[in-house]
Chains A and B, each alone.
Chain A
């Protein structure tokens, strides 16, 4: 169990070097992408969609992620701030063992739909 996860850590390809479709601020959890590979982010996203049935579709997730965003400002920065707010207000989840923000979980979920 432990060694399986260990192997995954040792052999992972950084997210930024993997090939995936339509990278965007919405489907790219910026911080997680620096520490996880695409497969892990896909697993986190799938796990999130499984545990939250009402957020399992692409449109729902896009709406949730864009709600309240100022279209005239940098989306990535706004989402980064939202992630920080999530941690500050305890909107966090544990998925695939990662303690992450709800916004990050939604980004992963969107990624997993768009990059099955």
Chain B
């Protein structure tokens, strides 16, 4: 069922078994797992069912460090969350992404890829993807025209599969189910502004929600899940609990640190002696599933060259040239304007690809940012319209990311040279190994990760391997904020899988009377 919290009498007391804060891919995928159960689920959305600029403005905040998109427009604050402007790119993290890499400081998750596999498979359905198949051979069996650029057994470079969601707008997909549900109670315009803990701050007593209609309500549950976005999760922990001036769960000064993005930057060209379609690397469809591959570097080569994990996508140069880098285009505070601009540019550069293919392809990198405690979310002194201190982003890149990006193309360049397929040409900014600056085309993927990272040890992480806040008995965190490392893929599939895993854990806890 659905209630607009603006219409409730002031100071309404709302009570349930589980309270989920946020209705994006994390919050909604968890909520739907509890539909038709005997448990009363309170699902809180700060915004409404549609875009509302006054609510969106609560996401605005100052930025320092590496140039970034306006914070107000990088996420969406209404039912369905940021899935409302998501592009739909999905791939799984690699086994290595979860492991400790001695050349990547602060790497190593407390869970393994195999722990997540069953939930990845389930997340495929939530996001309306195809079969849980990320081995290129599976797709090549469906369509033999999907030829690999390099030999399949190339020892350095491999084909990493992406699948594309329609993209699923989770608010639209699950809106009616939520409204009809007897045990899921959705409250819109219920923006959490305060988290009240018990004395000693070992458990959460209740939440305070507010809206611009001047209404304030309290929400009490046995278990709470913060399933906001990465920035908002950290902001709530830092700002919303009066009993913990340093921030809830922040005894070790970790909340907000390790903010990560994916660097998404045009980086090189592939020159071929003859035109080739490279269909495997173009957007295509097989049996109703859209998929393509990007080139990735094998894990032993990453270890050998002590580099970060990243991939390389292809665009025919004839179509890609003249495209404005997103960091220059996504410059408005209004996410709707930015989205329109982006779609308009993509549309104007779309064209029927030539059957015979192309001789020059632009190569774009998508690479993990190294976990870095100095890259962080803190609180600004400014407050939003509901009285909460705004989030401040200080985004920091290091020479490690640039070294890794350059190495990707040197390695691919070597392999395409060795096989006499073509030659790689690095763009100007990547050519000098001693140049650690970033070009003004450097941008992110609107992928925010890492501010409440997962760890067995409270001294190195904010949540435990089950996403529970260290030291707090009944508060869980869902979303990209729990990521320890960013890997190369877009995060939504992994966010959803981790959320489903959290939901399964909480069911066990509740069923065992915990």
**B-binding residues in A (CB < 8 A):** 1-2, 5-6, 9-10, 31-32, 34-36, 83-84, 87-88, 90, 92, 94, 96-101
Contact = CB atoms under 8 A, between A and B. Distances in A.
Contact of B414 (A1, A32, A87): A87
B426 A99 contact: yes
Given A35-B359, A87-B414, A2 B428 contact: yes
Interface residues of B, number: 29
A6 B271 CA distance: 12
A34 B409 contact: no
Given A35-B273, A35-B359, A99 B424 contact: yes
B407 to A, nearest CB: 11
Interface string B372-415: 00000000000000000000000000000000000001100110
Given A10-B321, A35-B273, A98 B425 contact: yes
Nearest to A99: B413
Contacts of A9: 269, 317, 360
Contacts of B417: 83, 87, 92, 99-101
B420 A84 contact: yes
Nearest to A33: B273
Nearest to A36: B271
A76 to B, nearest CB: 13
A31 B420 contact: yes
Interface string B291-332: 000000000000000000000000001000100000000000
Given A2-B441, A5-B428, A97-B431, A92 B272 contact: no
Contact of B425 (A34, A84, A97): A97
A54 to B, nearest CB: 21
Contacts of A35: 271-273, 359, 422-423
Contact of A94 (B266, B321, B426, B429): B426
A36 B269 CA distance: 12
Interface of B: 266, 268-269, 271-273, 317, 321, 359-360, 409-410, 413-414, 417-418, 420, 422-431, 439, 441
Contacts of B413: 92, 94, 99
Given A5-B428, A9-B317, A35-B273, A88 B441 contact: no
A83 B425 CA distance: 17
B414 to A, nearest CB: 6
B439 A98 contact: no
A97 B426 contact: yes
A15 to B, nearest CB: 11
B410 A99 contact: yes
Given A2-B441, A35-B271, A97 B428 contact: yes
Contact of A99 (B266, B272, B360, B423): B423
Closest 3 CB pairs of A and B: A99-B413, A34-B273, A87-B418
Contacts of A84: 418, 420
Contact of A97 (B317, B360, B427): B427
Contacts of A32: 423
Given A2-B266, A6-B317, A97-B426, 16 more contacts: A1-B428, A1-B439, A2-B427, A2-B441, A32-B423, A34-B273, A35-B359, A36-B271, A83-B417, A92-B413, A94-B410, A94-B413, A94-B431, A98-B425, A99-B424, A100-B417
